[in-house]
Amino acid sequence: MRLHKVYHRFSLLSLTSPPFLIPPCSSSTPPPFLRSKRCRTTSSLSSNNPFIKPMSTSSSSRLRNLVPVGAIGTEDAGPNGSAAAYDYSYNDDDELNSGYRLPPPEIKDIVDAPPLPALSFSPFRDKILFLKRRSLPPLSELAKPEDKLAGIRIDGKSNARSRMSFYTGIGIHDLKDDGTLGPEKSIHGFPEGSKLNFVTWSPDGKHLAFSIRQDEVEDVDSKLRLWVADVETGKAKPLFQSPDVFLNAIYDQYVWVNNSTLLVCTIPESRGSPPKKPLVPAGPKIQSNEQKTVVQSRTYQDLLKDEYDEDLFEYYATSQLVLVSLDGAVRLFGEPALYTSLDPSPDEKYILLSSTHRPFSFTVPSGRFPRKIDLWTADGKFLRTICDLPVAEDIPIASNSVRKGMRSLNWRADKPSELYWVETQDGGDAKVEVSPRDIVYTQSADAPQGEEPKIFFKLDLRYGGISWCDDSLALVYESWYKTRRVKTWLVSPGSNETPRLLFDRSSEDVYSDPGSPMFRRTPAGTYVIAKFKKENKEGTYLLLNGSGATPEGNIPFLDLFDIETGDKERIWQSDKEKYFESVVALMSDQTAGDLYVNDLKVLTSKESKTENTQYYLQKWPEKKSCQITNFPHPYPQLASLQKEMVRYKRQDGVQLTATLYLPPGYDASRDGPLPCLVWSYPGEFKNKEAAGQVRGSPNTFAGIGATSPLLWLARRYAILSGPTIPIIGEGKEEANDSYVDQLVWSAEAAVEEVIRRGVAHPDKIAIGGHSYGAFMTANLLAHAPHLFCCGIARSGAYNRTLTPFGFQNEDRTLWDATDTYIKMSPFMAANKIKKPILLIHGEEDNNSGTLTMQSDRFFQALKGHGALSRLVILPFESHGYSSRESIMHCLWETDRWLQKFCVSNSSEASIESKTDESKTVASGGGAVAELEDIGNGVDGLHFNTRSSLW
């Protein structure tokens, strides 16, 4: 890999979860935060079809749980600085509707626990960075002005994306051969209180580059400056000698071109002041479709609205590229433009520059604006324009539909400077039947003018990426969401050998997942598939790293795979009795030439139900394990919590699973049933067998995020986390046509299971969820009121007619499936909701489909029918909640709701309610934990739809 780049936005994910590890390379295709411009083996997979992966990886699901949040903490004070006392009685007085509040100390203390550092390995695995973080940011960080332009939220003061988290410091440790760490050496020399972002290693691992910004005070600008540090001495200094050169961080910020030179996106020195909004508009806002173009778009937010927005977006997004060396020499590179990515070739001779330009669009975000890709020499000479694509407003909403023209243009990781890309043959419309559907092309960067590109591969499904190795081996992936089919082809790029179909399977069938190939670093800094040899034996082998899904839970493994015969040999497997272990990265690829199994060294993680994640070096042939980290337990007060993966069936025979958490020291026979919080998120499947497969492990550590339902273990609730709620549409059936029925079936089965076990009081079971989980919650209170005493719905969408061109995984329009849209909308069933429901929403929600208006309109509908309801709008918050004030208040609201309507719920009131609602039609569903709650240790579904209502 060329470099590691790390930056994160404020998020909902756990501040007390295991440390975020930035490994040198994942066991499969490197994750986005790992990929340099040379390591995009499956770059189009997420953009074309985010729900299907060619081959899953055990490490990716674990890493997904460990996203760090860098921010600053605040004192226990209200907005005006006064202490916010906790009201244990939750008296119904005027104070309940004003001010920020704090949850009980047992919850607050867990959320306020200091976060562990993020980790990053050097390119040669000989050093580890410990990136220091602070806890939850104050609301004042979110309250700073921001411009919402083209789907991007911009902090004009820093000319960067708004709400960026940051690191507060960097420590470096030598990683010794025995797995132990040397003493910490701090990066120093930058101003105290600086906020660090975009930390990267130079290709040779001798330097670090990172941006620095400071809070805006007198004589100090909050714009980002680029610094470099010598890894050996720890001394940092500004990269530019002039103090007036600032990073433009709207899109890509900078890239290492070689060991001593960086290409940097800077704010043009001559750009002047931002455009001023005219007091009187030049004319009305007009959009026209006189050409009768069919444009169907999801419900995007923060779009451009007028000419002023266009000018302002162009102002902030325009960069001047600069080549700068470590000795301070500076040279301009090209003309100012809206550069979106910078991609050096592996041989450091060329650079691909991607940019966007006018005409912009008022109906789609900037990712669909016109896109131009130019080829330059690394010293700044323009060679040619490779493509210039028009605005893509007309991509059909059907799954697997894509942009017309060249897409997924990248450098081959195994060649000095060879390009590859894919072009659709169906006009980008997945509903068009054609063969082939996609064609992959290759062409050398120095190809003579006029030379036609070579056809590399033809695909009948949608292109899903390529993992390169060498001229004898590459893996090509294709997939089709409607059928969940995924194929992996083994190709010999340097010969005319017929491609061989290696795997052909359903993405839903996790039990048959063979695993993903591990990658090695090349001398050029890219990552390619690692090939292995066995001592004294012929043959070439790959290492397949798999999640190892089984009916007993995930048991990750490493298989030695003979690419000629297809034979497999399991050389490592996780402990399945007590621990959950997974392979994170290959660590023995530093020497050139063949890799041998007996010299294998990998980085692994290890955890249990009660022991938080630690990292280890595992060496062959002894398979000796050396512990690298020794992080303290993030919440010792819950160290002895009880966790169990439970299995049960719903009425149509589908096998369901959930993770049951019980408080420390709880004994059902002694303590009796508890109040119970059920927290979930539905998911779609094509067949019952796949829907019933077990995902996740009973041995994973119970990571607890800042708004995780597991916090209520500290309040002695039983928590049923992630009960599966599969919405199944077999054959030609559409899953959502029976959404409500399947939703209720799954919920009924989950409730019956916790009651049968004696851990949950039948009249004290609450339901909750975030985003699509909030949609689920409202539907269950409307269609299964006999199951739950109350509900908590956060950041949801409740009226599907407000998302008429598809939502979540529904790609039919409102006019195609009117009955489905109406029946699925709890807004239309507001008159049926009789149980208390708490609605929480961020006032600045930018997620597609979940406009804040959704909660506001739903609350008005509930209020109009006299429903016991409460709406809490969190100022400045987006789809997930970030600030300490907001998160603490969200927890206070939730705890108050549960205490009043769950813990204090009387059986008499419940019986009366059941009598009134006994004629409600039962309808039903199942799922796993949402993205917002991945800190609880529940693995996600095979397709990653956790955080958005589309």
Give the active site residues: 771, 845, 879
For residue 645, the surrounding DSSP H or E stretch is strand 642-649
Q: What are the backbone dihedrals phi and psi of residue 59, each rounded to the nearest 5 degrees, phi first? A: -70, -35
Beta carbons of 722 and 709 less than 8 angstroms apart? no
Residue position matching structure tokens 């008429």: 804
Q: Cβ neighbours of residue 65 under 8 Å, at least 6 residues apart?
A: 13, 14, 17, 18, 703, 934, 935, 937
What is the C-alpha to C-alpha distance for residues 835 and 833, in angstroms, rounded to an integer? Answer: 6
**Quick one: CA torsion of 35, 469, 521, 374, rounded to 10 degrees?**
-40
Beta carbons of 574 and 580 less than 8 angstroms apart? yes
Q: Which two tokens stand for residue 868?
A: 């016991």
- Which of the 8 DSSP states describes residue 71? -
Q: Per the omega criterion (within 30 degrees of 0), is the bond before 726 cis?
A: no
Beta bridge partners of 682: 927
What is the C-alpha to C-alpha distance for residues 375 and 411, in angstroms, rounded to an integer? Answer: 12
Beta carbons of 125 and 862 less than 8 angstroms apart? no
Beta carbons of 181 and 174 less than 8 angstroms apart? yes
Residue whose C-alpha is closest to residue 119's, from 217, 33, 233: 33
Beta carbons of 549 and 695 less than 8 angstroms apart? yes
Residue position matching structure tokens 């064609």: 439
Burial status of residue 656 (CB atoms within 10 A of its CB: 0-12, 13-18, 19 or more): buried
Angle at the Cα of 552 from the Cα atoms of 546 and 555, rounded to 5 degrees = 25
Q: Per the omega criterion (within 30 degrees of 0), is the bond before 359 cis?
A: yes
Exposure of 9 in the CB half-sphere (CA atoms within 13 A): 18
494 vs 131, 135, 468, 538, CA distance in Å?
42, 51, 12, 21
Beta carbons of 51 and 480 less than 8 angstroms apart? no
Grouping H, G, I as helix, E, B as strand and the rest as coil, residue 692 is coil
Cβ neighbours, 10 Å, residue 871: 16
What is the C-alpha to C-alpha distance for residues 724 and 556, in angstroms, rounded to an integer? Answer: 21
Residue whose C-alpha is closest to residue 465's, from 416, 516, 530, 421: 421
Q: Cβ neighbours of residue 333 under 8 Å, at least 6 residues apart?
A: 263, 321, 322, 323, 376, 380
How long, in residues, is the chain? 950
- Which of the 8 DSSP states describes residue 220? B
Strand ranges (DSSP E) for 214-283? 225-230, 236-238, 254-256, 261-266
Cβ neighbours, 10 Å, residue 126: 14
Q: Cβ neighbours of residue 71 under 8 Å, at least 6 residues apart?
A: 10, 133, 134, 135, 136, 137, 141, 165, 166, 882
